[in-house]
Amino acid sequence: MTVMAAPSAQDISIDLPLMISLATILVTIVIHALALIAVVHFIRREHRLGRTGVQFWRDLATVSTATLLTAAAHLVELIVWAVVFVLCGEFSQLAPAIYSSASLYTSLGYGDASHVVVMENVGAVRDSRWDANVRHIDCYRYFDNTVDASDEIPRSS
């Protein structure tokens, strides 16, 4: 006869934090997709208007705008995670949640803040950003495949 130990107060279920983190990851994927769509449309528009490959400064402005769109998407994602931390009770104010979210988003943290065990599970799932490089590679592949010869504007010599 097998006797199971009674659950203790130290047992923490990771089901809810896992579901919260997966839902939030889906939200961040949507944010990334929207940013990718905006960047691709912007670059294709610039290409159709004949503004790419003409002047260095114009190209620099195009790349800078695309970079700023991507940075804005990352900032929105950082804030989404901060709001999740506040809603889960990890922080009572948004400012420290944003600070913590930023430190976790860019690295493994500074070590100056400690999360409760449940929120560490949420943060651990969020910090598994293994797909970031794959998404960027897919972005380049998508852009290379969507800009074809019909998009090019003939330039007068």
pLDDT tens readout for residues 6-35: 555 556 677 788 888 899 999 999 999 999
Write the Ramachandran bin of 53: left for phi over 0, alpha for psi from -120 to 50, otherwise beta: left
CB proximity list for 155: less than 8 A, separation 6 or greater: 50, 54
Question: Quick check: 73 and 34 in contact, CB under 8 A?
Answer: yes
Residue 93 lies in a domain: yes
The pLDDT tens digits of the residues spanning 134-157 come to 444 445 455 555 555 455 544 554
Residue 6 lies in a domain: no
Residue 155 lies in a domain: no
- What is the rounded average pLDDT of the residues 40-55? 90
Residue 15 lies in a domain: no
Instruction: Give the pair of three-digit tokens for residue 68.
Output: 């700023």
Residue 73 lies in a domain: yes
Q: Specify the pLDDT at position 118.
A: 44
* 147: nearest Cα among 69, 1, 42, 64: 42
Residue 84 lies in a domain: yes
- Gap between the Cα atoms of 46 and 59, Å rounded: 9
Residue 13 lies in a domain: no
- What is the rounded average pLDDT of the residues 97-126? 63
Residue 59 lies in a domain: yes
Domain containing 96: what range?
25-145
How much is the pTM?
A: 0.63
The pLDDT tens digits of the residues spanning 81-106 come to 999 989 888 889 999 999 888 888 77
- What is the rounded average pLDDT of the residues 54-60? 90
Q: Specify the pLDDT at position 38.
A: 94
Total number of domains in the chain: 1
